[in-house]
Structure 1
Amino acid sequence: MRVPREIARFNRRVTNRAAQSITPWLPGLGTLQHVGRKSGRRYRTPLLVFPTRDGFAILIGYGPESDWLQNVLAGGATALEKRNRTIPLVNPRICSKADAANLVTPAFRTFYRLFPYNEAALVLTRSAHTSP
């Protein structure tokens, strides 16, 4: 299931701003920090994130044309805010939702599979350079 672009625009302008303060604390959610590939501006986007052995899998609900996804794939600085920590991430790669499910840690795998986004997931690895 892909979420219509109109909903994506509304979420970017309204819902995301309101959700940013609570998403780092909720299971399955986190705030992705990324840099605009054209503007160079820093962005913070609340997303569905699931831990893997060496990083995180992020469900792609708005399709491959999503700005946050394009920014991350362009190679700019990327980090995840989760539980009062900022985790630098590298090596973004897109894979099918099913392939990413095998990477998600067992404790979160059922929760991951419950979401109706069936297109794909972005998988990122924790950077060796961590921040406090």
Structure 2
Amino acid sequence: MSELSPIPVAALLHAGLLVSDLARAKVFYESVLGLDPYPNRPDLPYPGEWYDLGSGQQLHLMQLANPDADSVRPEHGGRDRHIALAVRNMGALKSRLDAAGVKYTASKSGRAALFCRDPDANTLEFVEVR
């Protein structure tokens, strides 16, 4: 077997999450998290929404069948596959999650981070940055 030279990955451009009910997911991502839809989503053959996260990064919601729908998720999201999003005000995020009745857990590492799940049990990590 030959050695391959590394490919210079420059950035994570987007993360895609599967959702079962796009309208419900949009309420969570827009009303609870305050994300703004990205206006230039192409005409794809399934319902979805894209959100601009800044710096050329996006979050893509795709209303498609979930091949893992029957899987058991760990109680703490940090022990599950997840995406991490930077936030500047953890207190404001906690207030929004509390007001919406969204459960979350603190990072077990001691970092200023928390984990929650969206309505489809996708895990989101939020890390406070300055």
In the superposition, the TM-score normalised over structure 2's length comes to 0.28
In the superposition, the TM-score normalised over structure 1's length comes to 0.28
Q: Which has the higher helix share?
A: 1
Answer with 1 or 2: which has the greater Rg: 2
Instruction: Using CA pairs under 8 Å that are at least 6 residues apart, name the structure with larger relative contact order, 1 or 2.
Output: 1
Q: Which has the higher strand share?
A: 1
